[in-house]
Chains A and B, each alone.
Chain A
């Protein structure tokens, strides 16, 4: 049934037990993003340590898809080089904007591959990308991301 296709077990797990949730100090930059169609919000902080993403912390109100995808984001970027984190982000964005036609690479996206089904629902793609947009913005604001790209 379609519903299980969208709401993979992995997504529900991240939704019920989100990783890295909560806003933490210290941080280098913060981004607030809102999805204008539904009002979902996320506030996300990035702490960099040289070229590395030392921490990502966040808080927000949103549906299971947006909450779970932000939780997956923290797994994928914390402890990585900024450049690697941004290239993972590009892979995730490509998957989400691929209308279900993009085959995700589990080595790159890990739990993120569970969102492949969501990509078939244009109305929900923005939900899945909300946290990632906040991450991209926060990295850019921290100054590091600009040079790392």
Chain B
């Protein structure tokens, strides 16, 4: 099968895990990429080579290995800056993942100077379709500071309900934080429009781009946001690495998060002064190999072209939606067409539980996710206790979607609902 601007079969050869055979010698059908993506050989080799040849701590050693390691680590920062259209490499902060990126922001806002400080009487706005990692940190912040948490609701078809935007975003709003592409519903949110409204009242805009980063050509400046989180393992990179991008002036004004080595300028026993961003926010030895591995992942994606990756994601998701709607009893949670829609497809099946669906699919070598996908409020809103989620990526073929559809028919047969 030929994708859009790249040959999917050729791409698949770059991912060794896709050669695995499971479940009585069936080929692995990996449809859980919204959970974590598989890794190309180039990323795996980069990690190995780092540990085999260049391993040293960064920024602390003048020896040759230290220089090589530092150059590769800082080189990864350059690659990421270019990949997301950041005006400056100093706007790229390495974190452990997007969860840490969001917690960094929500924590420092409790201590920030005006106009950023969140305190009593202030309001933080999120949405009902957030991943728990963009809900709980804001609950912690507002509960601890006496601020108030508000949220946009969801429409029945899984879009943000913007009808009460004037009541939600007011002069009391200090932060608006939302997901760019939903990991559960697949919805692509109108972030630029919401950012414009938030900026008009002087609020900070934070985006969760955990799913948008892997799926869309990204330009941080076009979003209108101030701070944006990414997570490396969904971007073909290793686990344990994420990115927080922030506008220079915002990063300069925010206080440090963790204290430790590398984030300082000078330390005296009474007090310390801090390094400028990004190092101000990177205390301690960072995930070095992981950052370098993420750099290799970005090289891989850039070589394919994010426009092509996005086009393939659109095509494969559209095909999957069309075929899934043919299966009796299937209800899609989220948009059922490809208008402003990304790659995650969550669904329920009449009379069948997601655990049982995924267990039967697994017996055919098909990997999907069953559960609440860390989005319990969105499930509750749409009247589902949990769902099954299918999510393909740049290596996903129509034949794999066909295998999954056949699997769904088998599930119905197995539990006697056919």
**Is A37 at the interface (CB under 8 A from chain B)?**
yes
How extensive is the interface on chain B, given as a class? 10 to 19
Q: Which of A3, A12, A40, A41 contacts B359 (CB 8 A)?
A: A3
B345-382 residues at the A interface, CB under 8 angstroms: 353-356, 359-360, 363, 370-372, 376, 379
Q: Which of A7, A38, A62, A121 has the most CB of B within 10 A?
A: A38
**Is B385 at the interface (CB under 8 A from chain A)?**
yes
**Is A129 at the interface (CB under 8 A from chain B)?**
no
Q: Which of B24, B359, B372 contacts A124 (CB 8 A)?
A: B359
A120-135 residues at the B interface, CB under 8 angstroms: 121, 124, 127
Q: Which of B24, B370, B379 contacts A1 (CB 8 A)?
A: B24
A65 CB → nearest B CB, Å: 7
Q: Which of A2, A16, A41 contacts B416 (CB 8 A)?
A: A16
B66-112 residues at the A interface, CB under 8 angstroms: none
**Is A61 at the interface (CB under 8 A from chain B)?**
yes
**Is B415 at the interface (CB under 8 A from chain A)?**
yes
The answer to whether A3 and B353 have CB atoms under 8 Å apart is no
A40 to B370, CA, bound (A): 11
A124 to B359, CA, bound (A): 9
Contact pattern, B 326-360, Cβ under 8 Å of A = 1, otherwise 0: 00000000000000000000000000011110011
The answer to whether A1 and B363 have CB atoms under 8 Å apart is yes
**Is A64 at the interface (CB under 8 A from chain B)?**
yes
Contact pattern, B 369-409, Cβ under 8 Å of A = 1, otherwise 0: 01110001001000001100000000000000000000000
Q: Which residues of B contact A1 (CB under 8 A)?
A: 24, 363
- The verdict on A38 contacting B379 (CB below 8 Å), with A1-B363, A16-B416 known, is no
Contact pattern, A 1-19, Cβ under 8 Å of B = 1, otherwise 0: 1110011000010011000
Q: Which of B360, B371, B386 has the most CB of A within 10 A?
A: B386
**Is B414 at the interface (CB under 8 A from chain A)?**
yes
A2 to B385, CA, bound (A): 27
How extensive is the interface on chain A, given as a class? 20 to 34
The answer to whether A12 and B385 have CB atoms under 8 Å apart is no
Q: Which residue of A is nearest B355, CB measured?
A: A63
The answer to whether A38 and B359 have CB atoms under 8 Å apart is no
Q: Which residues of B contact A16 (CB under 8 A)?
A: 416
The answer to whether B355 and A38 have CB atoms under 8 Å apart is yes
The answer to whether A38 and B371 have CB atoms under 8 Å apart is yes
Q: Which residue of B is nearest A127, CB measured?
A: B355
The answer to whether A39 and B359 have CB atoms under 8 Å apart is no
The answer to whether A38 and B415 have CB atoms under 8 Å apart is no
Enumerate chain A interface residues (CB-CB to B < 8 A): 1-3, 6-7, 12, 15-16, 37-41, 61-65, 121, 124, 127
- Beyond the given pairs A38-B354, A38-B370, A39-B379, 15 more chain A to chain B contacts, judged by CB atoms under 8 angstroms and listed by A's residue number, are A3-B360, A3-B363, A6-B359, A7-B359, A7-B414, A38-B371, A39-B376, A39-B385, A40-B386, A61-B385, A62-B353, A62-B355, A64-B353, A64-B355, A64-B356
18 contacts between A and B (CB under 8 A): A1-B363, A2-B23, A3-B359, A3-B363, A15-B415, A16-B416, A37-B371, A38-B354, A38-B372, A39-B376, A39-B379, A40-B386, A41-B385, A63-B353, A63-B354, A121-B359, A124-B355, A124-B359
Enumerate chain B interface residues (CB-CB to A < 8 A): 23-24, 353-356, 359-360, 363, 370-372, 376, 379, 385-386, 414-416
